[in-house]
Structure 1
C-alpha cells in the first residue's frame, strides 16, 4: 500500500515537474521568437505591447512646421496670451507648463531669454529637435512631436 502511494505521488510530482519544464520551454521559445517581451519588469505579448504602447509614427503629411509652432508660442508669450501659448504644447504636458507659467517673475525672465529663431538639430518621422541659442554655455533644446493629424506640437521646451 505504501509503495502504491509513493508511486502515485512520484508520478504526480513527475507530471508537475514536466509541466513546469514544458511551460518554461514554451515561454523561452516565445521570447526567442519575439512573441513575448519584457518591458518595465512586466511580460507582454506582442499584441498587449502594441495596445499599451501604440506606434508613434504617423505617416501623414505635416500641416505646419516646428518653426511656425515655436514662433506662435513665443509671440503668444510676448503678448501675455498664456492660453494660446499652451495650445502649442502637447495636451499631456500642458498642466505642467500651466503651473510653471504661474510664477510671473520667472516667466518674464524666461520670455526675455527666448531667441527669435530656433536651429534645426534633428528630425525623424514625427519627432523633431531644435536648439535654442539662449546665450548660455549649456545646450537648450526644444522637442516637437507630430500628432496623428499631422500637426506639430511642442513636446518639451
Structure 2
C-alpha cells in the first residue's frame, strides 16, 4: 500500500477524527453521569433516566423546610391549652396526654410527669398553677410559644409553653 494513496489517507484521518470524537464524547458523558449520580445521592435529581433535576416546587414538597407548614390548622394552641386545663380540672389523664405532641422530644418525659402527678392526685393543684388565659409570644407555621405571668415569693415570673403543629393540623403541647 502506498502511503500517498488519497483513499488511505482519508480513511486514516477519518479514523483519527472518530477516535478523538469518541474519546471526548466518553469523557463528557462520564462527567455528566458523575454529576447526575452526585445529585441523585443528594436527592436533587430523579434516580430514573434521564436523571432530570427536580424543580424547586418538587424539592419543597419532598423536603419541606418547615415541617407541616402547609397543613391547615384544625386546632389552635389556645384550644389545646384549654383542653389541657380541662383535663387537669376533671382529673382526666388520658385527655391530658392527648394534648401532648407525640413528635416532641420531651413527649415521654411529659407523659411520665403527667402520669406521676395523676397517681399522686396533684392534677387539681397543677390546674391552679395554669391560668385560664395565655399570651402569645411567637408563632410560626408549625411552632408556637405562649406564656403567662405568675408570682412566686412576691417576685413576678414568666412561664413559657411551647406548641408544635402535627400532621393533622392540630397544635399540641411541646412543653408543660
Same structural fold, with TM-score higher than 0.5 when normalized by the shorter chain: yes
Residue 107 and residue 68 in structure 1: after superposition, are their counterparts in 2 closer, same or farther (change >3 A)?
Answer: same
Partner residue of 2:66? Answer: 56
Query: What displacement does 1:147 show?
Result: 1.4
2:76 maps to: 65
CA distance in 2, matches of 1:156, 1:56: 19
Question: What is the match of residue 160 of structure 2?
Answer: 141
Conservation of the 8 A alpha-carbon contact between 1:121 and 1:131: yes
Quick check: 1:114–1:134 contact (8 Å CA) kept in 2?
A: no
Give the stretch that moved more between structures: 104-113 or 84-93: 104-113
One of 86, 94, 99 as aligned partner of 1:88? 99
Root mean square deviation, CA, Å: 2.9
Question: Shift of residue 54 of structure 1?
Answer: 6.7
Deviation at 1:111, TM superposition (A): 2.1
Confirm whether residue 156 of structure 1 aligns to residue 175 of structure 2.
Answer: yes
Q: Which residues of structure 2 form unaligned runs of 5+?
A: 1-37, 44-62
Which position in structure 2 is the counterpart of 1:97? 110
Q: Does the 8 A contact of 1:73 with 1:84 survive in 2?
A: yes
Q: Matched residue of 1:97: which SS?
A: helix
Alpha-carbon deviation of 1:106? 5.2
1: distance between equivalents of 2:124 and 2:86?
Answer: 13
Deviates more, 1:87-96 or 1:64-73: 87-96
Which TM-score applies when normalising by structure 2?
Answer: 0.54
Structure 1: gaps spanning 5 or more residues: 1-34, 36-44, 48-52
- Normalising by structure 1, we get a TM-score of 0.60
Moved more, 105-114 or 89-98: 105-114
In the alignment of these two chains, the number of paired residues is 112
1:121 paired residue among 121, 137, 143: 137
